[in-house]
Amino acid sequence: MSLRILLKDELTGFYKSKVMLFLWVGLPVISLLLYVLSPNTGGVPVSVFIALIVSSIGGALASIMLVVTIINEKERKVYDLFVIRPIKRWHLIISKFLAVFLCLLIAGIVSIIVGMLVDVVVNGAITSTLLQELGDSIIITSCMIGIACSASVLIGVISPSILVGVIAVLYGANQLSALVVLPIHQYTSRC
């Protein structure tokens, strides 16, 4: 089996799951609600604020799903079947990572674009600042999702139980992915 076949199989499994369905529908709805409520973000653009919230919520849910899947498959001895087949171990793990990362990235980008479209409808025009905010938001989202998913893969591989894995993801990986936000201070001081 090649990486492409494994990735296709993992993508099929993840995008049909109820969690991903919620993320694909729920994250854009959350971004619309955040835009309508428009809390005081302290100088951070609304699109960046939406990207942070959406990445945090989506990253936590997807990371939990990823770590639970890996630990369940370890406990059910699913990986033992691949010992006799000529499959590289890293293909199994990277296909899971890429499947969750891509599905969640699509959900994040859709929610950011929905928020930007509402912003365009309200403000009337697409400006270069709006496009720059869109790019910054997508970069922040992809970095946060990548960190959360990679940490959850690591935790899933080394965790002895589902409970330990979920707790480690919630209090470790999710907090670690927030490190991407640290350069935001520099971003807001430029404005």
pLDDT digits (tens, 9 = 90+) for 17-63: 777 777 788 878 877 787 777 666 666 666 667 777 777 787 888 88
Choice among 20-24, 41-45, 128-132, 150-154 with the minimum mean pLDDT? 41-45
pLDDT tens string 92-120:
888 888 988 888 888 888 887 777 777 67
CB atoms within 10 A of CB 168: 20
pLDDT > 90 in the chain, percent = 1
CA distances from residue 73 to 28, 79, 81, 184 in whole angstroms, order as listed: 31, 7, 11, 38
Dmax (CA) for the chain in angstroms is 61
Instruction: Judge whether 51 and 141 are in contact, CB under 8 Å.
Output: yes
Residue 15 has pLDDT above 60, yes or no: yes
**pLDDT at 76 (0 to 100):** 85
Choice among 2-16, 40-54, 150-164, 176-190 with the minimum mean pLDDT? 176-190
C-alpha 18/C-alpha 14 separation (Å) is 9
Mean pLDDT confidence for 151-167: 89
User: What band does 185 get if pLDDT is binned at 50, 70 and 90?
Assistant: very low
Note the pTM of the prediction, 2 decimals: 0.79
- Residue located via tokens 């100088």: 43
More confident residue, 180 or 73: 73
Mind giving me the DSSP string for 123-145? Answer: H-S--HHHHHHHHHHHHHHHHHH
Residue spans per domain, the chain: 3-190
Nearest CA to 149 out of 24, 28, 33, 14 is that of: 14
**pLDDT at 14 (0 to 100):** 78
CA distances from residue 21 to 13, 26, 50, 132, 145 in whole angstroms, order as listed: 12, 8, 19, 29, 17
